[in-house]
Amino acid sequence: MKRLCATLLLTLAWVWMVSADEGMWMPHLIKQQKLQEMKALGLELDDRDIYNPEGSSLKDAVVQFGGGCTGEVISSEGLVLTNHHCGYGQIQRHSSLENNYLDDGFWAKTREEELPNPGLTVTFTCSIEEVTDWVKACLERDKEKDVDGIFFLSPNYLNRIAREKVGEAFLSANPGMEVEIKPFFNGNQYYLFTKRVYSDVRLVGAPPSSIGKFGADTDNWTWPRHTGDFALFRIYTDREGNPAEYAADNVPLKPERWLTLSTKGVSEGDFAMMLGFPGSTYKYYTSWEVEERRDIDYNVRIRMREVRQQAMLEEMLSDPAVKIQYASKYSGSTNGYKNAIGTNWAINLRDFEQVKRDQQNRLLEWAERNNQPRYAEALRQIETMVKERADGRYRSWMLSEGISRGVEFASVPRGGWSRLNKVLEEIGSRWGRRSRHKEELEDACRQLIDDYARFANKDYNASVDRKVSVAMITEYIRLIDREKQPAYFKNIDDQFNGDVGAFVNHIFDQSLFGNPENFGRFKSNPLAYLSKKKNRTALREDPMFCFAQSVSDEALALRTALEEFDIPFSLAKRTYLEGILAMDGPYTHFPDANLTLRLTYGQVKGYRPSDAVNYVHQTTLDGVMEKEDPDNWEFVVPGRLKELYQKGDFGGYALDDGRMPVNFVATTHTTGGNSGSPVLNAKGELIGINFDRNWEGVGGDIQYLPDYQRSIIVDIRYVLFVIDRFAGADHLIKELDLN
């Protein structure tokens, strides 16, 4: 009886943990999984209004923006709304000291002024089809070819059979169409995604960073927030409406669906949902994986990024040009840093290890009752492998965070250097007889020159790299035993008596790529430069290339050692999740995020982060003015914004009490990739743009925290106000359908 009660309590606890607003649900399964709960919260739509495989629906207005964000189509002329930080790289590339769009903003007054962005794509999801049986049949058919047992999770294999399923004729007849099969629940389910990809995407408008990035890194992952994190792009097609590469005579996309924007605002308790492309979650971690993530992965990230960011920020604040160069790099670093801090806080606060142990124990009891011992064996294997890979994983994370990411010259392109050294080795001491190698020699020299252009680009500053590298290498060698460091690091002690600064200065001073004078002599006449034996020797022993090669060799060795765990670990995890699905039903749970289209829903709602602290759901422009600090680049307020605030000139977008709304929060379950996701009301109208989470909620990647987890959203009225009143871009307002 006691055992039965315990099992019942565990089951009830599990049901509670997957209820409420938790979940990143697949939109084509909403009717059978969540529609009634959504309607109980206030949804006024049916499932076909959200996802309709036979006609237009809300999902047709949602795009994957680039490779890691979401956007939404908001006009009949292909206008796309996403986050400022999602378009930050494009805005940065178009910026210069003369036209500083990061600081001043950008607004195209005509279509001709809209700026192209080579390499940027937006992707529509046309359809989603379950193909589990098809994939399993293919895996059985091809099992003799699957010598390593990896096909069940292999993107190459799965996408190859995706093309096989739809046929090459279909793809040829539909320009821009792509198909992809993705595994879910570690290969227990498979879905085929048919997508259309557009590659002519142009920048239309962006507020200055003092609006789009207001609060910057200090406010990142926090609430209350006061950031206008949005940017506008436009999709272009050829004259037949097909996806096409950039061409001056391309025309704006005529989309199947675009969103209506609601100016009615939000209230506490209102229904809210969003569609988007969340990147990665770890809902089905075991307790041992939770411990590994906290004690190895995130502890390393927190420590090493603290060192990097401090050194980088000092240089950025002392030079405006460096601030532009390193803005994106710094932002990317702090983003992951704060996420790690918040995740570790949540793991400890809610004892995620115990939560996952309860999940495991529930399966173990079910498996014992149903005579399924393989699920217990899978858990034993997972525990063993996590322990066995701990040292290699720690060293790998230290090398990645401390050196590969933290030291820019550790990633110097080595292709031209390796090729040139190979040719010189073939020539040997017979330099005077080099004529038969002349063409290959000249090609290798050109490749080396091209490599330098890629390395020393407009976003690279050697003096910054020197300073940051000294800090990173110093901390790395403090925390990693000498015999476990890259081989080249022995020179720090052997040649420089442990002086990291002297070691780094030597690398820059003596390297072809680190010293502009050295490179200039080479570039002006490569063959004349190489005619001297000392220069050929210096090239072969170039310290920057040798450093990078040694780091690469160490990374490869660690990766190879850790990869030995990958296949058995994936197989054990597949078995574990097979047990979860067998126990609870195949469609009870939502799968972990994997950059496929998902729906999440909840309510507009504040929260209480700690004792005697209560955060309401809405912030206003009052808070921007309260945070203003003209001496702190993160909290500078544009003069035009202050002028509008002082006049109360909010253009009809204000709250009933006259204040101008800026951001709000909702209980929706989001992660990276949901940046830019449309936040919709009960009628499916756009009320905001998701752009962040509170740091107390980032642990939701492992386990949803209903009391803490909040999506941070730009109120659509603030977006309209900035476009209309601040920027004076009323031609864009006229494109929109407003309610």
Active site members: 85, 229, 675
Q: What is the 3-state secondary structure (H, E, C) of 509-550?
A: HHCCCCCHHHHHHHHHCHHHHHCCHHHHHHHHCCHHHHHHHH
Strands (E), 317-362: none
Dihedral sign from CA coordinates of 502, 505, 509, 513: positive
Q: How far apart are CA 715 and CA 663, in angstroms?
A: 5
Please report, for the chain, how many H helices and E strands are present, in that order. 31, 20
CA distance 534 to 280: 51
Distance CA 668, CA 290 (A): 23
Phi and psi (nearest 5°) for 325?
-55, -45
Instruction: Provide the strand spans (E) within 224-264.
Output: 231-237, 251-252
What six digits make up the tokens of 58? 């809300």
Cα distances (Å, whole numbers) of residue 303 to 298, 471, 674: 9, 12, 27
Distance between start and end Cα atoms, the chain: 59
Instruction: State the Cα–Cα distance between residues 491 and 488, nearest whole angstrom.
Output: 6
Q: What share of the chain is helix, strand, coil (3-state, %, to 5)?
A: 55, 15, 30
Contact 201, 214 (CB under 8 A): no
How far CA 422 is from CA of 431, 437, 445, 510, in Å, comes to 14, 11, 12, 21
Paired tokens of 619: 């912030």
